[in-house]
Chain A
Amino acid sequence: MGILFSFFAVVALIVVVFVGVQGANLHYLFGVIIPFAAFITFIVGIVYRVFRWGKVPVPFRIPTTGGQQTSFPWIKASRIDNPSSALGVAVRMALEVLLFRSLFRNMRSELRDGPKLSYASSKWLWLGGIAFHYTFLIILIRHMRLFFEPVPGIIKIAESLDGFFQVGAPVVYVTDVVFLGAVTFLFLRRVVIPQLRYISLAADYFPLFLIGGIGVTGVLMRYFFKTDVVGIKELTMGWITFSPVVPQGIHIIFYVHLFLVSSLLAYFPMSKLMHMAGVFLSPTRNLANTNRAELHVNPWNYPVKVHTYEEYEDDYREFMKSAGLPVEKE
């Protein structure tokens, strides 16, 4: 259900472009207005959501850690897995954000005959995930050639390393191949593994189809339809100088690619893709385990109205005396 819905949602997006650009000739709408609207939705949406998250108090450290916490000097503490210092937290966060360490420790559990429960290391998701994210990053960096003039050296270096094998012309980028492979893998694992298929929703399939569609249209553009890159850069430079021009004769596949990217940008802040910002706010990763070493005051504490014994005695002193109860003050 989720698969078909997501698939046809992406197909519908592509049809919209064909109707809008080829049918109704709305080049300016699809080339300038929609990308801008999507870009603004992307930035404002992410900032808004992160602010909302920032307003949620973290009442206490959540030490779900994989190591010995700092205690006596003669007990060896795990400085990164169970950090008590800001540096340790920074290292743990860096490992999480850059290397997906939690995912690396992913385990597979199986119930075998016996009955016996067995666990095994399972790195495939980590491998697919890291291949996907890093190739996506390099592809993004490569695309920056369309947004800077003159093109900075670092982008050229990324591009030449990416095309290192010099296969064909235009040279095949390693990232293009790995990226499409990784997206396919991440999709297939949801379809093939029954448990994963059971928990997968349209919100899981849709980004995969969308990103896969972006990858496929990008590959078609570069290797097969040979879109007019000079024209495209005139368009993109027009955006960033706020003097948009829509050059004639850009192939429809570019508008499909651009509209799918715009959809991704606009969809981003309201989707699970927000883990891009969310990973930095993971309470089990970004808080030092100083639960015992330091005093943590509940952030929503307010001055509680109390009624002390002295006040109680003031209220009932006469009754207490007449009942023969001892009082502290006469």
Chain B
Amino acid sequence: MYNGGKIVIGLLIFVGLVISPFLLKGDKATAKPDPKVDTPEILKMPVGERTCVEDKEYMKAEHMKMLNEWRDWVVRDGLNIYTSKAGKEYTMSLQNTCMKCHSNKSKFCDECHNYVGVKPYCWDCHIAPKEEG
């Protein structure tokens, strides 16, 4: 091989970069997020009625879009009441409606957001509820 040294160094850098996730996996590599829904407010609700504003699958996929829409409707359009698909009415408020039940931001919101490296800008303006401990 000609200029073998330089070529081998280049290839080593390339292979090292490509397989770096395999080399740098931490101890927590297989830890899965486990968002907790066992806040006092949720436990107070009767077991059969423990639902969010919409059903779980919808909330899991679309909560960010919903919050964004709520923001627009409340702040820009002056609307305050959200009617869910089931016909139930809710006050559109992150701090007063969402966080009333999900008062455990660090065990609920952050659990998945940190896992997938998402940092929502909700808390640039809103104040996260105080948690015990």
A positions within 8 Å CB-CB of B:
42-43, 46-47, 50-51, 54-58, 144-151, 155-156, 159-160, 166, 168-171, 226, 228-230, 233-234, 237-238, 240-241, 243, 277, 280-281, 299
Contact = CB atoms under 8 A, between A and B. Distances in A.
B14 interface: yes
B70 to A, nearest CB: 10
Interface of B: 1-4, 7, 10-11, 14-15, 18-19, 21-22, 24-26, 28-33, 60-62, 64-65, 67-68, 112, 114-121
A169 B69 CA distance: 9
Given A144-B21, A148-B24, A240-B21, A230 B2 contact: no
Cβ-closest 8 pairs across A and B = A145-B117, A151-B117, A169-B68, A147-B21, A226-B61, A169-B64, A54-B1, A54-B7
Contacts of A233: 115-116
Given A148-B21, A168-B68, A230-B112, A55 B2 contact: yes
Contact of B25 (A151, A170, A234, A241): A241
Given A168-B65, A228-B61, 9 more contacts: A147-B21, A149-B29, A156-B117, A170-B64, A170-B65, A229-B112, A230-B112, A233-B116, A241-B25
5 contacts: A46-B14, A55-B1, A169-B68, A228-B60, A230-B33
Contact of A43 (B15, B61, B65, B112): B15
Contacts of B33: 230
B117 A159 contact: yes
A226 B116 CA distance: 14
Given A169-B65, A241-B25, A160 B116 contact: no
A50 B117 contact: no
Given A169-B64, A226-B61, A241 B116 contact: no
Contacts of B22: 240
Contacts of B68: 168-169
A58 B7 CA distance: 14
A147 B115 CA distance: 11
B5 to A, nearest CB: 10
B15 A155 contact: no
A9 to B, nearest CB: 26
A43 B1 contact: no
Contact of B7 (A50, A146, A168, A170): A50
Contacts of A54: 1-4, 7
Contacts of A169: 64-65, 67-68, 120
